[in-house]
Amino acid sequence: MLIYFGHRLTIHFTMVYISLFLTSFIAATLLPAASEALLGTLVTQGYAILLLWFCATLGNTLGSCVNWWLGKESLRFKHKKWFPVSENKLNKAQAQFQKYGIVTLLFAWLPIVGDPLTLMAGVMRIRFDLFILLVALGKGVRYALVIWLATSIV
């Protein structure tokens, strides 16, 4: 009976980290999710901080990779009638991205503008390795700050 309880406890802990990973992944795509709230809650409940940080950062970075890929692939459809962005708006967005440069990817964690930034990085065909480096760095720092705030409150 004790072994069975231990096994269930291990599954519970594993599911906590997988849930944080998935929530962070979804939050980085164009779908809304509150990964910071979940991370803060899990920190205050005493889960392993480094593993929480890793799962949140990895999930959020990989979710941004989905946006990059969608942006990269979307240009093949820009001449279709159903394409959701006009040629003029696409050109303006590309000009804005070029104006501020790839360093803006450090801010891919920001609400409202972060997802479009990662999408535009794909449209602009930013090198994938550079994209991951900048996005992961920005998101990792953001999650470290969330953890620091959560531990300061407790």
Q: How far is it, in rounded angstroms, from Cα 11 to Cα 120?
A: 39
36-85 tens-digit pLDDT = 999 999 999 999 999 999 999 999 999 999 999 999 998 888 877 777 77
Radius of gyration of the chain (CA): 18
pLDDT at 74: 86
| Mean pLDDT, the chain, integer | 88
Q: How far is it, in rounded angstroms, from Cα 73 to Cα 55?
A: 27
Q: 1 falls in which pLDDT band (50, 70, 90)?
A: very low
Q: How far is it, in rounded angstroms, from Cα 138 to Cα 134?
A: 6
pLDDT at 98: 86
Q: What's the pTM?
A: 0.85
Q: 5 falls in which pLDDT band (50, 70, 90)?
A: very low
Angle between helices 128-153 and 114-123 in degrees, nearest 10: 170
Q: How far is it, in rounded angstroms, from Cα 73 to Cα 118?
A: 13
